[in-house]
């Protein structure tokens, strides 16, 4: 009885007391990022090269490339010949019951007037239909079409058939290497494909009775034709275009200035076609992230220029070259580039034979002929930046329960080794769902420029080490559930170590930025 009383009293005390949660704090440290940024990946495509231990910028690019197939293209063309007997009569074996048909078939090439072509590739699909009760032989010749000096001439034997179900023979012939004279039977036409077709019965077959209802048919389709040579008049057509180019990476530029050395960009127009042309660069403009628009002016912008025809022959073709240079003396090229445009608009116009058929139909192009526009720009990669602000936004969402485990305080620690001659300060802007900034966290120090560091014999240039801390106060962490995005804002300068003023700096070959980002957090745990 005494033992029961003691147990009862303990039970009553346990239910009568209010139990408090156990609370304790713990410190945590964890690495987040360990990475090295460099320009090495850009040297693989010749964008950057080394010159005397520093980077040099090479922006040589092909902007436009018109090949033979783009300039003169032969559409798929079908020749159809129907042979109708001129009355009702008997045809003996081997007899020709229709007169040979010699025709010229015009190829529709708009204003292009071709007189002679050589085919690199292509096919002719021949189909013949025979409604007669004996085998019929179709003799197909293409005057003016030859390979290695041998004219095109083939025979096709179609089996017996009926008007409702004619006998059919088909064949596809590879046309690679064929030359075609397109001047017609008179020699003075253009775009004319000749044919000569006759129909006869089998010499070993029976005699047949034919009527005007017994129509034999030849169908020849030229398809997938590619030209390796063309001669004629290539027309007076205009090729014009305006292209939009978006450089999304430049949208991160919020403000500030970048200074480049005296810049020169050269456009080269290489004409490998034996035809005169006239060209114009109609527009070049860019708009940056703040809405500032700069149009390229000066030089020959907006002015027409002549493009001479190529010279030479098949095995010794010499393209003409027209050079247009935009430099700091004749244009605003530096302002154009330093505007840091994210949206670019480029326009051009080319007109072939601007003075008409001055060659007398002797424009020529070869398999190696190209009309290209090249951009060339070579300069030391000397960059000066003054209060250049870059912003990027990252979506985040963190939920903490204050009645359980939560982060009470902490900091992000960025450790960096910088070989670039550029310093920078970094801020973090924490925004809510509406985009309102709740807190701004400034780094405890700057990312030091490599020029303010110590010389590294291993790398051959100076490297500066920095440690930047971003304090996550309890006030910040109390609002962490309301944070939907973080804006990282970096302000960069290229400071001269001697003057402390922003100046153009050469970037050492092999420069790098090695970063380690880690956390140091204090959590409060409740159970």
* pLDDT tens digits along 127-152: 999 999 999 999 988 999 999 999 99
Q: How far is CA 423 from the centre of its chain?
A: 34
Q: How confident is the model at residue 28 (pLDDT cuts 50, 70, 90)?
A: low
Report the CATH fold assignment for 23-46+384-526.
Answer: Jelly Rolls (2.60.120)
Mean pLDDT of all residues in 412-439? 87
pTM to 2 decimals? Answer: 0.65
List the one residue out of 312, 322, 310 whose CA is nearest residue 370: 310
CA dihedral 89, 91, 96, 100 (to 10 degrees): 20
Residue with tokens 């402390």: 500
What does the alpha-carbon distance between residue 505 and residue 422 come to, in Å, rounded to a whole number?
A: 8
Q: Which two tokens stand for residue 190?
A: 């253009």
Q: Do 197 and 101 meet the contact criterion of CB atoms below 8 Å apart?
A: yes
Q: Do 361 and 113 meet the contact criterion of CB atoms below 8 Å apart?
A: yes
What does the alpha-carbon distance between residue 461 and residue 469 come to, in Å, rounded to a whole number?
A: 26
Residue with tokens 């936004």: 393
Q: Which residues contact 387 (CB under 8 A, 6 or more apart)?
A: 255, 256, 257, 491, 492, 493, 502
What does the alpha-carbon distance between residue 286 and residue 344 come to, in Å, rounded to a whole number?
A: 4
DSSP state of 443: -
Q: Which two tokens stand for residue 385?
A: 């930046």
User: What are φ and ψ of residue 248, in 5° steps?
Assistant: -60, -30
DSSP state of 403: T
DSSP string, 98-134: SPPEEEEEE---TT-EEEEEEEEEEEEEEEEEE-SSS
Mean pLDDT taken over the chain: 81
List the one residue out of 186, 178, 166, 167 whose CA is nearest residue 222: 178
- Hey, what long-range contacts does 366-369 have (CB within 8 A, 24 or more apart)? 366/68, 366/228, 366/229, 366/272, 366/314, 366/317, 367/68, 367/120, 367/228, 367/229, 368/272, 368/317, 369/67, 369/68, 369/71, 369/272, 369/273, 369/274, 369/310, 369/317
Q: In CATH terms, is domain 73-233 a member of 2.60.120?
A: yes
Q: How confident is the model at residue 503 (pLDDT cuts 50, 70, 90)?
A: confident
List the one residue out of 359, 374, 375, 376 whose CA is nearest residue 311: 359
What does the alpha-carbon distance between residue 205 and residue 198 come to, in Å, rounded to a whole number?
A: 18
Q: Do 163 and 214 meet the contact criterion of CB atoms below 8 Å apart?
A: yes
Q: Do 132 and 210 meet the contact criterion of CB atoms below 8 Å apart?
A: yes
pLDDT tens string 433-472: 898 999 998 889 988 888 888 999 988 889 999 998 988 8
Please count the residues of the chain.
Answer: 527
Mean pLDDT of all residues in 299-311? 91
Assess whether pLDDT exceeds 50 at residue 405: yes
Q: Which H or E element spans position 363?
A: strand 363-366
Q: How confident is the model at residue 508 (pLDDT cuts 50, 70, 90)?
A: confident
Assess whether pLDDT exceeds 90 at residue 206: yes
Q: Which two tokens stand for residue 284?
A: 């070049």
DSSP state of 450: G
Residue with tokens 């003023």: 501
Mean pLDDT of all residues in 209-213? 91
What does the alpha-carbon distance between residue 230 and residue 67 come to, in Å, rounded to a whole number?
A: 13
């Amino acid at each position: 009885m005494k033992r029961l009383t003691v147990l009862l009293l303990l039970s009553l005390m346990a239910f009568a007391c209010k139990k408090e949660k156990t609370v304790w704090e713990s410190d945590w440290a964890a690495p987040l990022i360990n990475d090295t940024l460099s320009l090495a990946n850009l040297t693989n495509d010749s964008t950057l090269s080394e010159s005397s231990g520093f980077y040099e910028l090479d922006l040589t690019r092909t902007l436009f490339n018109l090949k033979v197939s783009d300039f003169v293209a032969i559409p798929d063309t079908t020749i159809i010949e129907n042979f109708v007997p001129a009355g009702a009569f008997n045809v003996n074996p081997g007899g020709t019951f229709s007169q040979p048909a010699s025709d010229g078939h015009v190829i529709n090439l708009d204003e292009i007037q071709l007189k002679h072509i050589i085919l690199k590739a292509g096919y002719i699909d021949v189909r013949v239909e025979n409604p007669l009760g004996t085998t019929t032989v179709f003799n197909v010749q293409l005057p003016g079409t030859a390979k290695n000096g041998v004219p095109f001439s083939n025979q096709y034997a179609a089996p017996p058939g009926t008007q409702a179900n004619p006998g059919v023979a088909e064949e596809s012939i590879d046309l690679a290497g064929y030359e075609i004279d397109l001047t017609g039977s008179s020699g003075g036409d253009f775009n004319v494909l000749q044919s000569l077709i006759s129909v006869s019965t089998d010499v070993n077959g029976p005699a047949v009775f034919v009527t005007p209802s017994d129509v034999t048919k030849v169908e020849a389709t030229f398809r997938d034709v590619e030209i390796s040579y063309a001669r004629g008049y290539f027309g007076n057509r205009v090729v014009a275009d305006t292209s939009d180019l978006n450089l999304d990476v430049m949208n991160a530029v919020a403000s500030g200035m970048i200074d480049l050395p005296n810049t020169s960009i050269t456009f080269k127009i290489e004409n490998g076609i034996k035809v005169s042309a006239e060209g114009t660069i109609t527009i070049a403009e860019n708009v940056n992230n703040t809405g500032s628009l700069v149009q390229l002016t000066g030089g020959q912008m907006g002015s027409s220029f002549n493009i001479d025809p190529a010279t030479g022959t098949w095995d010794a073709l010499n393209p003409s070259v027209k050079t247009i240079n935009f430099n700091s003396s004749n244009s605003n090229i530096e302002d154009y580039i330093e505007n840091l445009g994210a949206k670019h608009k480029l326009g051009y116009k080319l007109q072939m034979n601007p003075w008409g058929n001055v060659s007398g139909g002797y424009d020529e192009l070869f398999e190696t002929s190209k009309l290209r526009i090249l951009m060339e720009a070579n300069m030391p990669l000397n960059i000066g930046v003054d209060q250049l602000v870059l912003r990027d936004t990252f979506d985040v969402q963190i939920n903490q329960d204050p009645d359980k485990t939560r982060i009470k305080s902490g900091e992000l620690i960025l450790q960096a080794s910088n070989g670039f001659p550029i310093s920078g300060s970094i801020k973090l802007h924490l925004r809510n769902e509406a985009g309102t900034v709740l807190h701004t966290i400034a780094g405890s120090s700057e990312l030091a420029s490599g020029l303010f560091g110590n010389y590294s014999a291993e790398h051959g240039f100076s490297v500066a080490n920095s440690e930047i801390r971003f304090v996550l106060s309890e006030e910040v962490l109390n609002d962490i559930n309301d944070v939907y995005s973080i804006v990282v804002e970096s302000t960069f300068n290229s400071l001269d170590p001697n003057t402390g003023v922003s100046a153009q700096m050469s970037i050492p070959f092999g420069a790098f930025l090695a970063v380690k980002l880690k956390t140091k957090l204090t959590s409060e745990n409740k159970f």
